[in-house]
Amino acid sequence: MSRVKDKTILVTGAANGLGSATARLLAREGAVVLMSDIDDVAGNTVTAEINAAGGRANYLHHDVSQPEEWERVFSQIRSEYSRLDVLVNNAGGGTYNDIETVSFQEWRRVMSINLDATFLGTQYAIKWMKETGGGSIINVSSVAAFSGAPNLAAYCAAKAGIHLLSKSSAVYCGQKGYNIRVNSIHPGLIDTKAGKEMARLATGLPTDDQAIAAFTALHPIGRIGTPDDIANGILYLASDESSFVTGTHLIIDGGFTAV
Ligand SMILES: NC(=O)c1ccc[n+]([C@@H]2O[C@H](COP(=O)([O-])OP(=O)(O)OC[C@H]3O[C@@H](n4cnc5c(N)ncnc54)[C@H](O)[C@@H]3O)[C@@H](O)[C@H]2O)c1
């Protein structure tokens, strides 16, 4: 249990869903996990559970949509830790709006928690990691980056932006010789609160069970994903096992996009 032993890893949106599963797995594999979120109650609960199980975790309040929050959080962790080995830009989410009805305010909100936040985190991480010999940046996008879901206009655009921002950053860091890898992860439908809500909205079906059954049919493997399916991919990109992997997009979707 030491695939990321003693690495310092910041996971945004770590209080729930994919983020909390990722934080728990990274801690079990030996990392010092800095968990950030705006849901302080859940964030502190998960942190306490990780520490009670023998892991090492700290919680920070952090609204990823705000540039000044990134400044504050990086200033705090730079004063307490000697380096940041891995950043997981996981916080995000979307709302169900098509191009005709999405308001500019809602468009900006979805952009800010997904694309703006990933831009800010990537920029702050590169600035520090290049001084300390390198690192790995993992940006959580979605299969929505690859297909035009009609009622997810802002979300598709934001997640597609994360896809190419990651590739551009990877090539730049490689050419500069920073030893910083940047990759994106693209989950299919995952069994989280947000995932179930998205499934209900997309199908128009009233219950989680009905919506998940409809989505299961779209995943050739015969089930939707679990948070651990994604956490395992993040663990690989965080570990030195992926030291030759940069500028790629790891699709973890049970075959959803292969159809
Ligand atoms: N669940 C899915 O089916 C699915 C599929 C593809 C991609 N994703 C992506 O995976 C990531 C995690 O999704 P999830 O299903 O675990 O969602 P979730 O809603 O369960 O968890 C998201 C976490 O982000 C936090 N968060 C929201 N806004 C924030 C902000 N401004 N600053 C800091 N934290 C904030 C929330 O408090 C929450 O803890 C998101 O980027 C999402 O778009 C999810």
**Token pair recorded at residue 225:** 């994903």
Instruction: Ligand 1, residue 93: give the atom nearest the CA.
Output: 43
Ligand 1 mean position, distance from CA 177 (Å): 32
Shortest-distance Cα residue to atom 32 of ligand 1: 63
The domain limits of the chain are 8-188+226-252, 191-224
Distance CA 20, CA 193 (A): 12
Question: How far is residue 158 from each of residues 18, 98, 118, measured CA to CA in Å?
Answer: 18, 14, 10
Which atom of ligand 1 is the closest one to the Cα of 16?
Answer: 39
Whether residue 140 has its Cβ less than 6 Å from ligand 1: yes
What is the structure's pLDDT at 204? 86
The predicted model gives 204-231 an average pLDDT of: 96
What are the tens digits of pLDDT across the range 153-191?
A: 999 999 999 999 999 999 999 999 999 999 999 999 999
Is residue 53 pLDDT above 80, yes or no?
yes
Predicted confidence band of residue 95 (pLDDT cuts 50, 70, 90): confident
Computed over every residue of the chain, the mean pLDDT equals 97
Catalytic residues: 155
- Examine the pLDDT at 201 and tell me if it is beyond 90: no
**CB 11 near ligand 1, within 6 Å:** no
Nearest to 29 by CA among 7, 13, 46: 7
Beta strands 249-252 and 180-187, pairing class: parallel
Which residues lie across from 248 on neighbouring strands? none
**What does CATH list as the number for 8-188+226-252?**
3.40.50.720
CA of 114 to the centre of ligand 1 (A): 9
Q: Rounded mean pLDDT of 198-203?
A: 89
Q: Is the CB of 230 under 6 A from ligand 1?
A: no
